[in-house]
Amino acid sequence: MPAPEDFDVAETLHRHPDALSGGARLIPVQTTSGTFNVWTKRCGDNPRIKLLLLHGGPGATHEYFEAFDSYLPRAGVEYYHYDQLGSHRSSQPDEPNLWEIDRFVDEVEQVRQALGLNASNFFLLGHSWGGILATEYALKHQQHLKGLIISNMVSSIPAYNRYAEDVLMAKIPPDVLAEIKAIEAAKDYDNPRYMELLIPYHYEHHVLRLPHAQWPDPVLRAFAHINPNVYIPMQGPSELGASGKLAQWDRTDDLPNIHVPTLTIGAAHDTMDPAFMEAMAHALPQGQYLHCPEGSHMAMYDDQATYVSGLLAFLHAVDRAGAD
């Protein structure tokens, strides 16, 4: 009789017939609720620089990282697209107990082992929620890391919520903000008016600084494929702050314990305070900060030249230092 994970593979292939094409593979991940599969895809070939990408959400997808496909291969970087458990091309079990930070950290470690990554080559980039996950992974498993990138994510959700309240909301016209808050107070998040207000007054200023009609297809797909069964319990339903399981997460005091070379990436128009992200770099023993002056939360799109060139410079500098 086939193992449960074999049924899961069949279900994934039914949803995504091309899931295992072009260097992709499904990696079995063991959990307390059984074994499930997560989707990964290898791009490029470099024995010394292997970059694992942790997407945001929680419950979003690898798709918006497709921006890197135009740059990283020709720069000699091997990298891995990866949909975390619960995300689009991976298993989506109806197991609410799985949506915990520690469980995701264990998943990343199992993926690392399956991909054969180690301290001689393993770089980890986490964006947004992925930055939380990357931080937690480094605090538990940094002996396996060559370098770490925390992109567009502060080390404190309470600090993020204060920034959202004091800075981001203050930029929204009072009457618009009042209507948004009324919708949230009524928990009427499915009301189409909610996004009608958030897109022009928040998303186009702080998430991706382009008219929504011009957002790149990989970004639109990633947003369309967010799994609310993961996103809402962890992030919360509000788009102007976090109120779920992550609401009290704060690792600021632990940053000095991360000793691997680390790049923090912030942006002038981000949902995250760029000054806080720069301060994080100073708190990290081997930290440095990359500022994207034209960017927002998706700075890999709206300040692409700054973001990509800074990322590549960091990867190659750490690699050269390790070869000396």
Q: Which residues are catalytic?
A: 128, 270, 297
Residues present in the chain in total: 324
For β-strands 24-31 and 50-54, DSSP reports them as unpaired
Q: What is the distance of C-alpha 94 from the center of its chain?
A: 22
Q: In what order do the strands lie in the sheet with 122-127?
A: 24-31, 34-43, 78-83, 50-54, 122-127, 147-151, 262-267, 287-292
Burial class (CB in 10 A: 0-12, 13-18, 19+), 187: exposed
Residues 6+ apart with CB under 8 A from 18: none
Give residue for tokens 């639109």.
220
What's phi and psi for 99, nearest 5 deg? Answer: -90, 70
